[in-house]
Amino acid sequence: MPKAELYVYVAWYTKNKYPFLSKSLLNKLTKHIIENAKTKYIQIEQIQGSQNHMHCLIKLKPAMSTSNAIKLIKGESAHWVNKHKLTEPKFNWNEKYFAATVSPNSIERVRNYILNPEIKYIKD
């Protein structure tokens, strides 16, 4: 049986770049996104955020499209925040996002970027 792994770097903002994400909410939200993604067979390899955006490295199964995975992550997480009334006003993600595939030899570099976004990585 063939083995296929697709790594994707994804970044997205809150709607209108509103600074919803306090440290406390970020901790809760990232834990929730990781756990919820597992139930949908999406593996979160690395995740980090700031007041108004998230960075994520995900590993997808061949049957899962990138757009569907992002839709599941963003849609469910916004619903969860609002269901538990964790923000005021109502929480929303921006509709747009950035996604790029990651080659296996660049995975560690992307992980480091997500954890330390202030470090500028120069293309080899």
Query: What are the tokens at 102?
Result: 């990651």
Instruction: Kindly report, residue by residue over 1-16, the tens digit of the pLDDT.
Output: 567 789 999 999 999 9
Q: Is the pLDDT of residue 121 over 80?
A: no
Q: Cis ω on the peptide bond leading into residue 89 (within 30° of 0)?
A: yes
pLDDT for residue 2: 62
Q: Is the pLDDT of residue 122 over 50?
A: no
- pLDDT, greater one: 63 or 81: 81
Domain 6-113 has CATH 3.30.70.1290: yes
Task: Report how far apart, in Å, the C-alpha atoms of 71 and of each of 4, 37, 67, 92, 93 are.
Answer: 22, 11, 6, 13, 10
Dump the DSSP string for 64-119: S-HHHHHHHHHHHHHHHHHHTT-SSS---B-S--EEEEE-GGGHHHHHHHHH-TTS
